[in-house]
Every structure is written in structure tokens, then in C-alpha cells.
Amino acid sequence: MSSPEISKAAKMLQQGEVVVIPTETVYGLAANIYDATAVRSIFELKGRPSNNPLIVHIKSFEVLSEVAKNIPDTALKLASHFWPGPLTLVLEKQDTILDVITAGGNTVAVRMPNHPIALNLLQETGFPLAAPSANPSNYISPTSAENVRKAFGERAPFILDGGPCQKGIESTVVGFKSDGVYLYRHGAITKEALEAALDGVEIKTITHESASPASPGMLLKHYSPRAKLIHTADVKQHLLNVQGKQVGVLSFNTHYTHPAIAHQLILSPSGNLEEAAQGLFNALYELDSKGLDIILAEVFPEEGLGLAINDRLGRAAAE
Ligand code: AMP
Ligand code: MG
């Protein structure tokens, strides 16, 4: 990536435009956190409900106190362990943080992305960036510039192309309450890794049903392809009931044989969950471009990154 392109993006952001940026998780649709009009245009472009707050991306630890205050020690410990990286901390917001970012709440979600282009851009703009995933609301998160173009078509803003995202799945979102540390969203950092970094402190999980108002954007339906997606532990059984349909299969490391299967993608033949997470959204884009009626997606092992993968596939399947 040439720095003239980063400078061009920085200039556009300074002028109140939105720009698509690469991060290690997924591509983001970014705007200046201090420009309410620019942030509002993120919501318009995505068709995102205004009650779903945005993550603020910062370039360094020094900037953390510019956006958040009364930061708990456990949060500082997690930040120093995982930043820059795919961990988002929900913290008490500074007064300067706009309501449009926090959905009117008094907390702000913050992370430091681990991507040289994103960090160079943040350095050049001088202000933090609010950035949700660069896809229309409820559609599949993009992990390449090409997928952003597929998702937005003609409406795609300027894209800084940083190649395929290294993690391929969104950040883990963690919140802090008087009674402990809570996992709001499974993501690229596992619960086990968080607990290990906190010397075994237990992290509680907030379910979708109980998420509101703690994490208002945790809508159940999300990440959905146009084809009907079925998330199942028994792909073989479903294959018996798909006569006359164009079927796609998305699996961890199993190869299925059946005449109804028009397309099949195996995310990690060697059974590696990191590799599977990295390729997950790209595989959904690919399957969704084949004009299928149904995508049968396996339930992944309920451990480590398998939890984040199953969370995304479960929501992709939600009606
Ligand atoms: P996305 O931008 O699509 O990656 O989604 C951001 C995630 O962070 C959503 O699940 C939001 O609910 C969550 N989030 C953002 N800000 C907050 C906040 N202030 N409190 C709780 N959760 C938040
Ligand atoms: Mg998103």
C-alpha cells in the first residue's frame, strides 16, 4: 500500500467523508468520531439501526483516555495484553464522545486494530475512527476489498485495499460491571485466552436474549447470505430433504458426497479453527454468488474459535 493512498484517505476523512479501511478482523466503514454528520452517513450507507453503537478505533494507548474514563484495572490488563489486536473494550465514555456513536448510552466500545494500514491512517488523521463492518446491515461481513465491492456495488466508498484480513472474524467484545467481566460478543480472541490473561478470573457470558441494553446492537439476525442458510449438526440428514434445490455445503473438514450438492467449501481440511475463522465470511460470499437455494453450514466444535464461528453461522441462519 503506497502512502499516497493513505494520505488520500486521511484527507477524505478530514473532509467528513467515509472510507473503507482494512483491519485484521474484517473491513471497516470509517469516519471521524468527532464529526456527527460523517458518523451519521455510516449508518445511512449501512442501513444500520441507530440503536446499534459503533466501535471507536484508536492508534495508541495514550488515546484511550481521550475517549474513555474510570477504566477498570482488568480492562487495562486486557488492553496491554491484546492491543493492538481484535479485542474491543466497552468502557465509560468521555463527555466528548458523540451520542450517535454510543447510541445515546454512557459507554463507548474501543479497540486498537492490528493492521499497519489502519494504524498509519489513524496516525495521519490525528483523530480516532468510528468503524463498523463495511457491509449493508445484516449482510455478510467483508474480509477483502472485493467482498466490500460485492456488498455495496456502485455505492461502495473509497477502499484502502489491504489484502485479505488475517483473522477474518470480528473482535471479541468485553464489558465491565461491578460484579465482573462480561463477554458481549464471541470473536477472534477466545474466552480461554482472555481468562488466561486475567490469571484465571472467570468471564461471564451475556446471551443474545439478555444483551439489551448492555450491548444493544447484539441483534440475533446478522451476517446473512441471500440464500437460505441452515446451521446444522447433521448435514447428511438435511441432504435427504432437498430434492430439486441447488444446495451449497460449508463444512469444517468433512467432504460430503450427494447429487444435490452444487458447491461445497471445506474451511480447513486439517481441522484448524483459526484457518476456518479466517476463511468463513469469504466462503459465505463465494457460496452466495452461486445462485443457491440453500446453504447447509455445519455446526463447528463448541470450543475456542468454534464458538465465534457458530455464533456467526447461527445468526446467519436466524429468520
Ligand atoms: P460491528 O460494528 O458490526 O462490529 O458491531 C459492534 C459491536 O460492538 C456490536 O455488537 C455492538 O453491540 C457492540 N458495541 C458497540 N458499542 C457498544 C457499547 N457502547 N456497549 C455495548 N456494546 C457495544
Ligand atoms: Mg457488523
pTM over 0.85: yes
Do the domains at 3-205 and 228-317 have one common CATH topology? Answer: no
Q: Does 3.40.50.11030 match the CATH number of domain 228-317? A: yes
Question: 140: CA distance to ligand 2 center in Å?
Answer: 8
* 303 secondary structure, DSSP code: S
Q: What angle do CA 23, 131, 119 make, to 5 degrees?
A: 40
Q: Along the 319 residues of the chain, how does pLDDT read in single tens digits?
A: 669 999 999 999 999 999 999 999 999 999 999 999 999 999 999 999 999 999 999 999 999 999 999 999 999 999 999 999 999 999 999 999 999 999 999 999 999 999 999 999 999 999 999 999 999 999 999 999 999 999 999 999 999 999 999 999 999 999 999 999 999 999 999 999 999 999 989 999 886 555 555 666 566 777 789 999 999 999 999 999 998 999 999 999 999 999 999 999 999 999 999 999 999 999 999 999 999 999 999 999 999 999 999 999 999 998 7
From 71, 106, 215, 222, mutation site for ligand 1 pocket: most ligand atoms within 8 A of C-beta = 215
Question: 132: CA distance to ligand 2 center in Å?
Answer: 6
- Tell me which residue has cell 483459526: 274
Question: 208: CA distance to ligand 2 center in Å?
Answer: 15
Task: Please state the domain extents for the chain.
Answer: 3-205, 228-317
Alpha-carbon gap, residue 51 to 219, rounded angstroms: 10
Q: What angle do CA 157, 172, 209 make, to 5 degrees?
A: 100
Question: 142: CA distance to ligand 2 center in Å?
Answer: 9
Beta bridge partners of 130: 31, 56
Alpha-carbon gap, residue 76 to 44, rounded angstroms: 34
Report which protein residue has its CA nearest ligand 1's atom 12.
217
Superfamily designation of domain 3-205: DHBP synthase (3.90.870.10)
Q: Encode 96-123: b = buried (16+ Cβ within 10 Å), e = exposed.
A: ebbebbbbebebbbbbbbbbebbbbbbe
Pocket around ligand 1 at a 6 A CB cut-off: 52-55, 90, 102, 105, 107-109, 132-133, 170, 173, 184-185, 215-218
State the virtual CA torsion across 306, 312, 317, 319 in degrees, nearest 10. Answer: 140
